[in-house]
Amino acid sequence: MKKTGAQILCESLIKEGVEVIFGILGGSVLPIYDTFPQYPQLRHILVRHEQGAAHAADGYARATHRAGVCIATSGPGATNLVTGIACAYMDSAPMVAITGQVARPVIGRDAFQETDITGITIPITKHNYLVTDVRELARTIKEAFHIAQTGRPGPVLIDIPRDVQQEQTDFVYPDKVDLPGYRIVSRGHPAQIKKAAKLINEAEQPVIVAGRGVIISQAYDEFKEFAEKAQIPVAHTLLGLSCFPGDHILDLGMMGMHGTGSANMAVQNADLLIAVGMRFDDRATANTREFAPNARVIHIDIDPAEIGKNVPVDVPVVGDIKSVLTALNEEVDRREHVDWLSQIDQWRCEYPSQDVRQSNELLPQYIIRQICEATRGDALMVTGVGQNQMFVARYFTFTRPDSLISAGGLGPMGFELPAAIGVKIGRPDEAVWCVAGDGGFQMTIQELATVTQENVAVKIAIMNNRALGMVRQWQELFYSQRYVDTKLWNPDFIKIAEAYEIPGVRVKRREEVRPAIRKAMEDPGPFLIDFFIEPEENIYPIVPPGECLARFFEPSRTETWQRKSGVSITEF
């Protein structure tokens, strides 16, 4: 029996195990939406802006480890997806983005709502397709899911002209893909693993730097076994948080620009770095020329192009983290690094990482600690971008695997709410907290309608400092306190929530924090807390731009910092 392109799309999605699609309609996807009622097993979540669809699909993908699917119409619908696609690409999240395109006869004629979305998304997708023949559609979808979900995951876009959606053909879903140019090395080379093990066994001051690859590979047990057996402390990139228990004796927390003193000092003083599923992003390494000057580097990653991209590597091991660590665990000796760990303990004492200073002001650090304690760490934390993100990264103790969903690479403000929707829909039985800044929250605030329409029980905590906080912090520290356009006039977020039929409370004082969190947790549905935090609170330490990791700055140490570095913090 012949089927239309739209039916083929829906049936192919079902074959791929897709249950949820995030999207919004428009002229060039009408034939697809017209067939949705025939496939009730596909749940469509109607968002209010295509960026929301892409971030929600991204959140869903990170929460479920399966490709998130989003759909948008041609032209502006497709271009509105771009931020979300780029975000998924930077953070290696599997996604299949489907866009409608104008009908084939008018492609290239600047038709109404025509955009060359395959051209636009070449640098931000793992691959993309323009389907010009309905007979190619099923194979294309099969390939798209395969590419998105295997190897180093990423987004794949399929652009389908409207008349292809309506054209009919026989539907046969292929069993396998034939992609001669797509090869994945999943097992590490045994000789490389032996070389790595030798370096590890000989190291006296080793540090593991763990990235999101550990989480993508779901290698928590293998990773923990590795760290414990070789007794090596673990520093995380932002997205590597929650790959290893934050309360473990070997855990150093986050490294990098806003990393903990102990993580940054350990990395800078290491004689061996074992980089696991991370890509030496500049926010994690700071100045690469002075990065870990005495360390040899082992780099384990599934993407060969990451090896040597940003820092020189002594022993590369290309492969899937889980498989490589399983093999490596056989080869490494059980070790004790008593001196090294006691040195690290000294740094921990010297630079306490989760201290919240005593204050009558409402501090974001205190709020995040309270959410952590109230939930006992048993929550999925979705963050925005900026200070709120760094406060979560630093002050929430991630004790359960895979519990931080944050946009690390692209850093798009406004990620938090739509991503939290996707996370909650992907893992409905878990508590999902969406920590937002007041600036970023207003970039995708319209998705509150999606929250209510779909009854998505996310708990929204706005760290409201009436400012674009991170930028304000940079203006304070690096632009001589010339505050240009970082102060925000904000609407009353509680009234906004009320208009969207979402209950909420405003918190202005410390003693109101716990009751508000408890109230949010007890409410079965969505809930919003507007935390009126101290507006000038900064995230510290900070490694000033261009500096190396060891030269992190915090106000309590201004004098020491200036003595050591010979420059004033305001000179940057």
Partner 1 sequence: MALVEDKPGVLNRVASLFRRRSFNIESLAVGGSEHPGLSRMTIVAIGDSAQIEQVRKQLEKLINVVKVSDITEGNMVTRELALIKVKAAASTRSEIMQIVSIFRANIVDVAPGSVTVEVTGDEDKVNSLLGLLRDFGVKEVSRTGRIALTRGSSS
- Residues of this chain that interact with partner 1 (CB under 8 A) are 118-119, 122-123, 126-127, 130, 147, 179-182, 303-305, 307-309
Residue 204 CB, nearest approach to partner 1 (Å): 29
Q: Are 292 and 273 in contact (CB under 8 A)?
A: yes
Instruction: Give me the phi and psi of 270, to 5 degrees please.
Output: -70, 150
Residue 89 CB, nearest approach to partner 1 (Å): 12
Instruction: Give me the phi and psi of 487, to 5 degrees please.
Output: -80, 135
Residue 174 CB, nearest approach to partner 1 (Å): 16
Residue 126 CB, nearest approach to partner 1 (Å): 8
**3-state SS assignment for residue 70:** strand
Give whole-number Cα distances, 390 to 370, 395, 423, in Å.
Answer: 16, 8, 20
Residue 311 CB, nearest approach to partner 1 (Å): 11
Structure tokens at 179: 């992609």
Residue 182 CB, nearest approach to partner 1 (Å): 5
Dmax over Cα atoms in the chain, in whole Å?
79
Instruction: Give me the phi and psi of 405, to 5 degrees please.
Output: -120, 110
Residue 521 CB, nearest approach to partner 1 (Å): 44
Residue 281 CB, nearest approach to partner 1 (Å): 16
Smaller CB separation from partner 1, 30 or 103: 103
Cα 550 versus chain centre, distance = 25
Q: Are 65 and 148 in contact (CB under 8 A)?
A: no
**CA angle in degrees (0–180, nearest 5) for 441-447-448:** 85
Q: Are 405 and 425 in contact (CB under 8 A)?
A: no
Smaller CB separation from partner 1, 161 or 437: 161
Residue 129 CB, nearest approach to partner 1 (Å): 9
Residue 127 CB, nearest approach to partner 1 (Å): 4
Segment holding 432, helix H or strand E:
strand 432-437
Q: Are 391 and 365 in contact (CB under 8 A)?
A: yes
Residue 180 CB, nearest approach to partner 1 (Å): 5
Instruction: Give me the phi and psi of 114, to 5 degrees please.
Output: -95, 130
Smaller CB separation from partner 1, 213 or 233: 213
CA distance 487 to 469: 9
Smaller CB separation from partner 1, 118 or 444: 118
Please name the residue that has the structure tokens 């090869």. 183
Please name the residue that has the structure tokens 């996604």. 95
CA distance 238 to 405: 10
Q: What is the CA radius of gyration of the chain?
A: 24
CA distance 282 to 258: 12
CB atoms within 10 A of CB 289: 10
Alpha helices in 351-442 (DSSP H): 364-375, 387-395, 416-426, 438-441
Smaller CB separation from partner 1, 309 or 508: 309
Nearest to 5 by CA among 151, 169, 157: 169
Q: Kind of pairing, strands 2-4 and 168-170?
A: antiparallel
Give whole-number Cα distances, 525 to 111, 140, 203, 423, in Å.
Answer: 44, 39, 51, 15
Residue 305 CB, nearest approach to partner 1 (Å): 4
Smaller CB separation from partner 1, 122 or 567: 122
DSSP string computed for 2-60: EEEHHHHHHHHHHHTT--EEEE---GGGHHHHHHGGG-TTSEEEE-SSHHHHHHHHHHH
Cα 448 versus chain centre, distance = 21
Smaller CB separation from partner 1, 307 or 404: 307
Smaller CB separation from partner 1, 127 or 394: 127
Smaller CB separation from partner 1, 304 or 401: 304
Smaller CB separation from partner 1, 117 or 413: 117
CA distance 144 to 154: 10
Smaller CB separation from partner 1, 127 or 424: 127
Residue 119 CB, nearest approach to partner 1 (Å): 7
Smaller CB separation from partner 1, 66 or 126: 126
Smaller CB separation from partner 1, 31 or 154: 154
